[in-house]
Amino acid sequence: MSVWSGYLTLILEGALVTLQLTVMGSALALVMAFLAGLGRLSRFFAVRALATTYIEFFRGTSIFVQLFWVYFVLPFAGLTLTPLQAGVLALGLNVGAYGAEVVRGAVKAVGREQTEACIALNLSRFQRMRHVILPQALPLMLPTFCNNAIELLKGTAVVSLISLTDLTFQAQVVRAQTGNTLIPFATILFLYFAMAWAISTVMRWLERRVTRSLDGVRT
Amino acid sequence: MPSPIIRIDSIVKRYGPLTVLDGLSMNVMPGEKLALIGPSGSGKTTILRILMTLESISGGHIEVDGEQLYHMKKGADLVAADERHLHRMRKKIGMVFQHFNLFPHKCVLDNVTLAPMLTQGATRADAEKRAMDLLDMVGMADKAKAVPAQLSGGQKQRVAIARALALSPKIMLFDEVTSALDPELVEEVLNVMRRLAAETDMTMLLVTHEMGFAHDFADRVLFFDRGKIVEEGGPDEIFRNPKQERTQTFLRKIIAAGHRV
C-alpha cells in the first residue's frame, strides 16, 4: 500500500502541473481572445489583418505541432523556454484563437441600436465598448468560454510530449514502473473529470453573477 | 432676423444604387418646432439620422449652429470631418429613437447619468441630481432604480427623453418616438413632449405619423415624398388646406387608416 501512496503522490504532483498549465494557459487565452476578437472588429485594416492571421493560423494548425515549434524551434531564434512556459504559451495562443471568435460573435450580437444610442449620447468608441457593449456581450461569451477552458484542460495532456510532468505523463511513468494500467489511468480519469467539473461550477457561478443584473432584461 | 441653427444645403444620400435624398435643402431657425411628415421611405428619418451623424452623406453640406457638421476647415479647404470634430458637433444635438435604445444592463438612473459623467465630466452627485430633476419632469422619478425590462414602452420612451435631455443639447431629434408604442401609451409620451416644447426654447425636429400631435406641436410642417420636400407651411395650411395633390392623397390615406388629424 505504501508503494501505491508513493505513486499517488507522483500523480498528484502531475495534477498540480496540469492545474498550473490550465490556469495560466486560460489566463493567456483570455487575454489573446479579447485582443484578437476586438482586433477583428477594429476600423484599422492592419489590426484586422493581424488578428485574422493569428486566429486562422492557430486554429488551422494542430496544438501538437505548435507546441513542438514553441519548444524545439524557438530556441534556434534565440528564445529558449522552460517546458512549462512553452506549454502555457502554446495552449494559451491556441485556445485564445478560438476564444477570439467567441468575443467577436458576442460583441456583434449586441444590437446596432445600442451603438447608435451611444453615438447620440456622444460616447467615444472606447466608452461605448467599455460601458455599453462589453457588459452586454460578456454574459453571451461565458458558456463558450467554459467549453474552451475545459478543452484547454484536456489539451494539457499534449505537453507530456515535451517531457513536462503533467497528469498524463505521470500516469505513464506509474504504468511503466508498475505494469499496472488500470489504477493510474482510472485515477487520472477521475482527476481530469474533477477538474473539468470544478471549471463548470466556477463558470456557472460567474454566469449567474454576470447575468443577475441583466435578468430578464434581454429582449 | 436670427440666422438658421441648421442649414442643410443640397444633401445627397445614396444607399448603393438607391438615392434616398437627392439634393435636399432646408433651414431650421433656433427654437423652431418642426414636424417632418410623409410616407415611409420618403427620407424624413434619414434626415434625422444624418443630423445625428448615424449615417454618412454622399454629397452636400450641413451647417449646425454656425459650424460645418460633416466638414472641417483645414487651412483654406473644407475636408471631411474627423472623429474629434464629430464628437464636438454631437454635443449640440440629441436624439430620441423609435425603439428607445435604452441600455438594458443599467437602471433608469444610470441610463440618464452615464453620458453626462463620461462626456461632460459631471460628478456622480451632480449627474444624479440633474437626472432626478429630469426624471421628475417626465414622471419617472419613482422608477429611478428600475431596469428597462420592468418598464412599459411609454415609460421607456420617457426615460429615453430624459436621457437625451441630460446632455442639454440645443437641438433635439425625435424619430417616430410613439410608433412602437401601444395606442394607450402614446399620450403619456406626447404630453411630455408638449411640456418640453412649451417650457424650453430648444430646437426640435419631429418625424411622426401622429398628425394631430404634429398639428398642435409644430410651428412648421414639411411634407416629404421620395427624398424631396413637396410642400411646407404652417400646420393649419398643411393639414386643413394642402395645395399639392400628393400631400392631399397622403393625408387622406392617413385619415382612412384611423389616425387623428
Give CA–CA dist A178/A8, Å, rounded. 12
Q: What is the DSSP letter of A128?
A: I
**B6 touches B170 (CB < 8 A):** no
CATH number of the CATH domain containing B256: 3.40.50.300
Residue B257 has pLDDT above 90, yes or no: no
In a domain, B142, yes or no: yes
- ipTM confidence score: 0.92
In a domain, B92, yes or no: no
- Domain residues for the domain of B36 are 11-56+170-261
Residue B260 has pLDDT above 60, yes or no: no
Which helix (DSSP H) or strand (DSSP E) does residue A6 occupy? helix A2-39
**B147 touching A (Cβ < 8 Å):** yes
Give CA–CA dist A121/B172, Å, rounded. 12
- Give the nearest chain A residue to B150 (CA atoms): A217
Domain boundary among B168, B185, B215: B168
Residue B151 sits in the same domain as residue B217: no
In a domain, B18, yes or no: yes
**B67 touches B39 (CB < 8 A):** no
pTM of the shown model: 0.86
Q: Which residues pair with B97 in a beta bridge?
A: none
Q: Tell me: the pLDDT tens digits for A190-208?
A: 999 999 999 999 999 998 8
**B26 touches B69 (CB < 8 A):** no
Q: Tell me: the pLDDT tens digits for B12-54?
A: 999 988 889 989 999 999 999 999 999 988 889 999 999 999 9
In a domain, A217, yes or no: no
- Domain residues for the domain of A51 are 2-212
pLDDT at A214: 58
Q: Tell me: the pLDDT tens digits for B102-157?
A: 999 999 999 999 999 999 999 999 999 999 999 999 999 999 999 999 999 999 99
Which helix (DSSP H) or strand (DSSP E) does residue B79 occupy? strand B77-80
In a domain, B77, yes or no: no
Residue B261 sits in the same domain as residue B179: yes
Residues of B within 8 A of A120 (CB-CB) are 52, 54, 90, 93-95, 97, 101, 164
Non-local (6+) Cβ contacts of B18 within 8 A are none
Which helix (DSSP H) or strand (DSSP E) does residue B169 occupy? none
User: Which residues of chain A carry a pLDDT beneath 50?
Assistant: 215-219
In a domain, B27, yes or no: yes
- Indicate yes or no: CB of A120 within 8 angstroms of CB of B83: no
**B82 touches B72 (CB < 8 A):** yes
In a domain, B71, yes or no: no
For cell 491556441, name the residue: A94
Residues of A within 8 A of B118 (CB-CB) are 123-124, 127, 131
pLDDT at B151: 94
In a domain, A218, yes or no: no
Residue B183 sits in the same domain as residue B255: yes
How many independent structural domains does chain B possess?
Answer: 2
Residue B194 sits in the same domain as residue B224: yes
How many independent structural domains does chain A possess?
Answer: 1
In a domain, B94, yes or no: no
3-state SS record for B137-153? HCCCHHHCCCCHHHCCH
Q: Tell me: the pLDDT tens digits for B181-220?
A: 888 889 999 999 999 988 889 999 999 988 989 998 999 9
CA distances for B186 relative to A158, B165, B189, B235, angstroms:
63, 19, 6, 21
In a domain, A201, yes or no: yes
- Give the nearest chain A residue to B52 (CA atoms): A120
Residues of A within 8 A of B105 (CB-CB) are 135-136, 213-214, 217
- Give the nearest chain A residue to B99 (CA atoms): A113
Residue B133 sits in the same domain as residue B47: no
Residue B181 sits in the same domain as residue B249: yes
Give CA–CA dist A78/A101, Å, rounded. 32
Residue B199 sits in the same domain as residue B152: no
Phi, psi (degrees; rounded to nearest 5) at A23 = -65, -50
Q: With 0-12 CB in 10 A as exposed, 13-18 as middle and 19+ as buried, what is A24?
A: middle
Domain boundary among B168, B194, B216: B168
